[in-house]
Structure 1
Amino acid sequence: MEAHFDGIAEFVAVAQRGSFTAAATDIGITKSAVGRAVTRLETRLGTKLMHRTTRRLTLTPAGEAWLEHCVAALEELKRGESALTLARNMPGGEVRIDLPTAYGRLHIMPVLLDVAKRYPALGLNVSFTDRRVDLIGENIDIAVRIGNLDDSADLHARQIGVQHMVIVAAPSYLVARGVPQSPDELADHDCVAGRRQGNRIAWLMKQQDGSTSRQVVPVKHELQDFEMVLMAVRAGLGLTQLPFWMVQDDVRRGALQIVLDGRSGGEWPINVLWPRTKALPAKVRVIIDGLVGWANES
């Protein structure tokens, strides 16, 4: 395929500049290299394209016809390159994004919708999963993940937050059952838990030496969805341990109250991930910028 383009740029430069020397200067190669390229082109086409004398250079009729086709082809290539550059620099097209279920719905989606509103050419394709996804294998442009990351030469990561765990309850429950003053007192309370990890449900608690350990708690209600856990605790059914980002609005307006403040353990980074690439597409860049800007303002 490369042979079909061999010598075309050199031929067009010579024809337009009227000189092998000037064409060589424009292209950045030697005069002899230009001459050899044009000769190879004439040999491949089986026709003479130029009359060369010591004083002047003129195109043959075949050369004039061929020049017209070559100029049109090169212009079309330039338009194609411009289109690719525009696609790289202008936010547009579908962006595949994978988000954690609850965190993604509550906090990331509003940011994405704001970015999509500012860039109407963007198309969002958003999935919600709590599993570890293979961005490259599953053709995902951006993912947000909570937790420590494995080292990967294929991915970029930017931290946009930290998940802190807190223990909360509704004021009505605390009035009826009392406020626990130590982790040991959790044994006397009703606890509401989400997904089970192992045979027994345990919450992360900070110890006096600053370390974190798991403490088994008595579970009265086990709900396999953290938003349903939050609903049950709002209704006064017990204590629960949830990420602060999930309960912060309830705490601010007094619908929930933090207990054992400073004793609830567990902190994990929240990162936005994307495949490593030499040129980041504009559609990906504006979403990452939007998430980082939101994180800086939070």
Structure 2
Amino acid sequence: MDTRFDGIAEFVAVTRLGSFTAVAAELGVTKSAVGRAVSRLEDRLGSKLLHRTTRRLTLTPAGEAWLEHCLAALDELDRGESALLLARDAPGGEVRIDLPTAFGRLHIMPVLLKIAERYPALNLKVSFTDRRVDLIGENIDLSVRIGNLEDSTDLLARQIGVQHMVIVGAAGYLARRGVPRSWADLTAHDCIVGRRQGNRIAWLMKQPDGSTSRQAVPVKHELQDFETVLMAVKAGHGLTQLPSWMVQDDVRLGALKIVLDGLSGGDLPINVLWPRTKTLPAKVRVTIDGLVQWALGLSSAVA
């Protein structure tokens, strides 16, 4: 066990108050306990720090030199404690955040930039990945993830939305090829699919009992990037299944139309996650609060 700090508090207090009795009263211990603590310190250092007489205590030359180092160390500890308290109570410093690629760029980054504008002392460090990151192992303050979460005693989560999958096509494409009314109708259509982690992404279909199953579709184009999939669909090359948060603006403007509405499945929660800590730093707290407030302010759940 490291005993380098044993006796230092008693020694510094004795030099400040001038007697073992006064130190004992301040620290709530016995006079003899104070004396033993200082004696153990002297034995460990191999130097006498105090001259003791019946009338007073005075520092030896070694004691004067040691006191200077002790005061410098205590001052540094005080500065460190103040910095920690400031980090806990005042939003500032680096916030390490990991976001899903497309959703993070389109929806979360604008919110983070508004939070950073509100708290100028924040420094954002944002990465974009679609894998499950290890927040603790990779030293990440918080992340946003789409999907069902595994049970964890090390993480906390707050749901900020729901992702719902829809099937869409451009108005011009649907005028040429017709509007599908059932999954069977897709055999007569060009379907554009994405890939994730090397695997082709199947479309998700709702079953009569409310469950969701994967549905194979005839593939015309297979594209790695979802934003490129969206580009191809808007250009009239076929139908695709994408999250509604990705296509909602184009649907509202009429560039895309939803088909097979009610048959497309795959609702998934959108959560913000952060490591469980006894005291949440202010920089993380205001970032989480900002994301939650953004989600609550939406006219409907993020989908």
Q: CA deviation at 1:61?
A: 5.6
1:243 is displaced (CA, Å) by 0.4
CA contact (8 A) 1:195 1:223 kept: yes
Q: CA RMSD in A?
A: 2.7
Correspondence 1:105-184 to 2 at 5 A: 105-184=105-184
Alpha-carbon separation, structure 2, partners of 1:184 and 1:19: 93
Instruction: Sort the Cα spacing of 1:219 and 1:46 in 2 relative to 1 into closer, same or farther, 3 A.
Output: closer
Would the alpha carbon gap of residues 64 and 190 (structure 1) be closer, same or farther in structure 2, given more than 3 Å must change? closer
Shift of 1:208: 2.1
1:166 partner SS: strand
Shift of 1:136: 2.8
Kindly state the Cα deviation for residue 260 of structure 1 after the two structures are TM-superposed: 1.8
Residues 254 and 154 of structure 1, relative CA distance in 2, 3 Å threshold: same
Mapped contact 1:11–1:38 kept (Cα < 8 A): yes
Which amino acid is 1:206 matched to?
Answer: K
The percentage of counterpart residues that share the same residue type is 75
User: Which residue of structure 2 lines up, in the alignment, with residue 273 of structure 1?
Assistant: 273
Please name the residue that 2:301 is paired with: none
Range moving further from structure 2, 274-283 or 228-237 = 274-283
Q: Which amino acid aligns with 2:124?
A: L
How far apart are residue 235 of structure 1 and its match?
A: 1.9
- Quick check: 1:167–1:259 contact (8 Å CA) kept in 2? yes
Matches within 5 A, 1:1-298: 2-43=2-43, 44=45, 46-47=47-48, 49-53=50-54, 56-60=55-59, 62=61, 67=67, 70-195=70-195, 202-298=202-298
Is this contact kept in 2: 1:7–1:40, CA < 8 A? yes
Q: In structure 1, how many angstroms separate the alpha carbons of the residues matched to 2:7 and 2:202?
A: 73
Report the residue type matching 1:59 in the other structure.
T
1:201 and 1:189 map into 2 onto residues whose CA distance is 17
Which deviates more, 191-200 or 9-18?
A: 191-200
Please give the TM-score of this superposition, normalised by the length of structure 1.
Answer: 0.86
Which stretches in structure 2 are left out of the alignment for 5+ residues?
299-303
Cα distance per residue 1:83-138 (max 9 Å; x no partner):
23223433333333221111111111111222222233333222222122222333
Q: What is the alpha-carbon distance in structure 1 between the residues aligned to residue 244 and residue 84 of structure 2? A: 44
Secondary structure class of the residue paired with 1:195: strand
Select between 121-130 and 66-75 the one with higher mean Cα deviation: 66-75
User: Deviation of residue 249 (structure 1)?
Assistant: 1.1
Q: 1:140 to 1:48 in 2, by over 3 A?
A: closer
- Cα 1:45–1:147 change in 2 (3 A) is same
Aligned length: 296
The DSSP-based 3-state class of the residue aligned with 1:151 is: coil
Deviation string, structure 1 residues 253-283 (Cα, Å, up to 9, x no partner): 2222212221110011112222333333333
TM-score in terms of structure 2 length: 0.85
Using the alignment, how far apart are the partners of 1:96 and 1:48 within structure 2?
Answer: 48
